[in-house]
């Protein structure tokens, strides 16, 4: 797992958006960026900077994925048939840490990644500790029996900050769910505007 060099809330402030829709985000209080130059007035952004910002938002949302790994997702999205931006979202939403987050077994994508790394998750009955593992349609994801009563899991399932999307089924009593299908971009409940088409433009320059 790549090291995350900056806190998740610093990512929010740098991008100027409440990336995960959390009530604790400092963007709710201070919309300017972090640091001594955070309040500087900004001019009209160039096309490149708009594309770069779209990439940073999408990359940051999924737990600040490394640039190398994110580029691989783009390359795989290009290789697949259909719309590249739709393919990119489909791939990102199949990441096991994204699925654990969507199922509300973790409060943030970062917490989901750590939870998987520590061996608390089963996929089709087998332990899986790779956060970037790509879940397939129909895969059953479950919290290990000895981990079902962990406070961090119980707290996450009770959060009202977000809902479980329609492409996932989950039973919070059994701590078990099914990834029904890969979503379309319009199916994904992002709390902020995402522009995967600009991400594709950034990489295809």
Residues β-bridged to residue 134? 95
- Predicted confidence at residue 44, as pLDDT, reads 80
Which letter does DSSP use for residue 188 in this model? S
- Predicted confidence at residue 205, as pLDDT, reads 86
Residue 61's H or E segment, with its range, is: helix 47-61
Half-sphere exposure of 148 (CA within 13 A, CB side): 13
Residue 161's pLDDT band (cuts 50, 70, 90): confident
pTM: 0.83
What domains sit in the chain, N to C, each tagged with a CATH number?
3-33+44-91+189-204 (1.10.1050.10), 95-186 (3.10.290.10)
- Predicted confidence at residue 51, as pLDDT, reads 95
Q: Nearest Cα to 73, choosing from 61, 85, 60?
A: 85
Is residue 21 predicted with pLDDT exceeding 90?
A: no
Higher pLDDT, 16 or 97: 97
Q: What DSSP letter does each residue of 68-132 carry, written as one string?
A: HHHHHHHHHHHHSSS-HHHHHHHHHHHBHHHHHHHTTSSSSHHHHHHHHHTT-EEETTEE---TT
Residues β-bridged to residue 121? 143
Residue 91's pLDDT band (cuts 50, 70, 90): very high
- Predicted confidence at residue 45, as pLDDT, reads 77
What percent of the chain shows pLDDT beyond 70? 79
Crossing angle for the helix pair 67-79 and 196-203, to the nearest 10 degrees: 100
Q: What is the mean pLDDT of residues 46-50?
A: 91
């Amino acid at each position: 797992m790549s090291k995350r060099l900056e806190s998740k809330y610093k990512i929010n402030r740098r991008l100027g958006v409440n990336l995960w829709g959390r009530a604790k985000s400092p963007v709710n209080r201070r919309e300017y960026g972090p640091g001594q130059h955070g309040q500087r007035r900004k001019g009209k952004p160039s096309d490149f900077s708009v594309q770069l910002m779209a990439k940073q938002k999408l990359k940051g949302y999924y737990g600040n994925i490394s640039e190398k790994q994110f580029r691989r997702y783009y390359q795989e999205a290009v290789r697949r048939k259909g719309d590249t931006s739709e393919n990119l979202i489909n791939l990102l939403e199949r990441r096991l840490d994204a699925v654990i987050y969507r199922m509300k077994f973790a409060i943030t994508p970062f917490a989901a990644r750590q939870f998987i790394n520590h061996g608390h998750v089963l996929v089709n009955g087998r332990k899986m500790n790779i956060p970037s593992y790509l879940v397939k349609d129909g895969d059953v994801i479950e919290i290990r029996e000895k981990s079902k009563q962990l406070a961090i899991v119980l707290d996450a399932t009770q959060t009202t900050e977000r809902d479980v999307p329609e492409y996932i089924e989950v039973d919070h009593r059994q701590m078990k769910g099914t990834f029904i299908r890969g979503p379309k971009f319009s199916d994904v409940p992002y709390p902020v505007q995402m522009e995967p088409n600009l991400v594709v433009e950034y990489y295809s320059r």
